[in-house]
Amino acid sequence: MSPVVLVTGCSTGGIGFALCNEFARQGCKVYATSRRVDTIGDFAYPSVEKLALDVNSDEAVESVVQRIAAVEGRIDIAVNNAGFMSAGPLIDQTMEDIKANFDTNTFSILRMAKAVVPLMAKRRSGLIVNIGSIVGEIATPWNGLYCASKAAVQSISDVLLMECKPFNVSVLHIAPGGIQSNISASGSSRFSLPEGSLYSAFIPNIMKRINASQAPGSMPTDAFARAVVEKALRKNPPLYFSTGANSGLFAFLRWLPKTWVLWLMWRVYSKKITN
């Protein structure tokens, strides 16, 4: 039987869209979801079906999962990809923005797990793929909410891995580096500093950070999707996978003293101001 895959956050130009195309290319039945279906473009394969899904709604997540289960009889792979960037200094973020970021980037993963794990456990088969980030492991300035929300995703993946093991349900945590996608454009459109901000002199540095993942050398989205899907469709998927621009560097930095690493991150993204 062809694996049945549910992917969140599938707007055209993003990682989710590319993952759907690749899963379909590999023969899977794919359900591509986004808050609004009209943000999802046309796929190259007819085995991809589009559904509206607000990952911030308990009822919507449960409804979509049950709808797919009713049609297909199962969900083999659930990919938690929905997320967005809230760039800027931490203390300049409104509480509404903070809650919205964690709701989409982090809490949505728990909503999906609560909906799909019982179905997978019943069949004693399934895989949850959580899209984290290398900055969830090493924080950078000017993107603190995203770093914090993705750090939480890493912990959620680790705990789900342990707690799903008795039911033969696997968890694969993905930590992308720089991947060519629309996340920076979205981050730029959301960014603004409040009047009287302490950080107005740092706007060039903040913009550099927003666009860092799209710098030359960033991994093409389709190449990233091929690498992730290959891991996800293995008989025994790995627990963790990281790829994309700077992923090797960040893996190395995890072994170094944190004081030095944080100094380096500040130097990279603020040296023009501090010199």
pLDDT digits (tens, 9 = 90+) for 80-111: 999 999 999 999 999 999 999 999 999 999 99
Q: Which of 29, 31, 150, 199 is catalytic?
A: 150
User: What is the C-alpha to C-alpha distance for residues 57 and 53, in angstroms, rounded to an integer?
Assistant: 8
pLDDT at residue 172 is higher than 80 = yes
pLDDT for 179: 96
Count structural domains, the chain. 1
From the candidates 31, 146, 199, 269, give the one annotated as an active-site residue: 146
Q: Please tell me the predicted confidence (pLDDT) of residue 111.
A: 98
CATH of the domain at 259: 3.40.50.720
Task: Write out the chain in H/E/C secondary structure.
Answer: CCCEEEECCCCCCCHHHHHHHHHHHCCCEEEEEECCHHHCCCCCCCCEEEEECCCCCHHHHHHHHHHHHHHHCCCCEEEECCCCCCCECHHHCCHHHHHHHHHHHHHHHHHHHHHHHHHHHHHCCEEEEEECCHHHCCCCCCEHHHHHHHHHHHHHHHHHHHHHHHHCEEEEEEEECEECCCHHHHHHHHCCCCCCCCCHHHHHHHHHHHCHHHCCCCECHHHHHHHHHHHHCCCCCCCEEEECECHHHHHHHCCCCHHHHHHHHHHHHHHHHHC
Residue 51: the pLDDT is 98
Structural domain span for residue 166: 4-274
pTM above 0.85, yes or no: yes
The arithmetic mean of pLDDT across residues 55-71, rounded, is 98
Give the mean model confidence (pLDDT) for residues 180-196: 81
Is a pLDDT exceeding 80 seen at residue 79? Answer: yes
Q: Write out pLDDT tens, residues 190-246.
A: 789 999 999 999 999 999 999 988 888 899 999 999 999 999 999 999 999 999 999
pLDDT (tens digit per residue) in 116-165: 999 999 999 999 999 999 999 999 999 999 999 999 999 999 999 999 99
Q: Look up 150 and say whether it is catalytic.
A: yes
Task: Assess whether 235 carries a catalytic annotation.
Answer: no
pLDDT for residue 63 is more than 90? yes
pLDDT value for 216 = 82
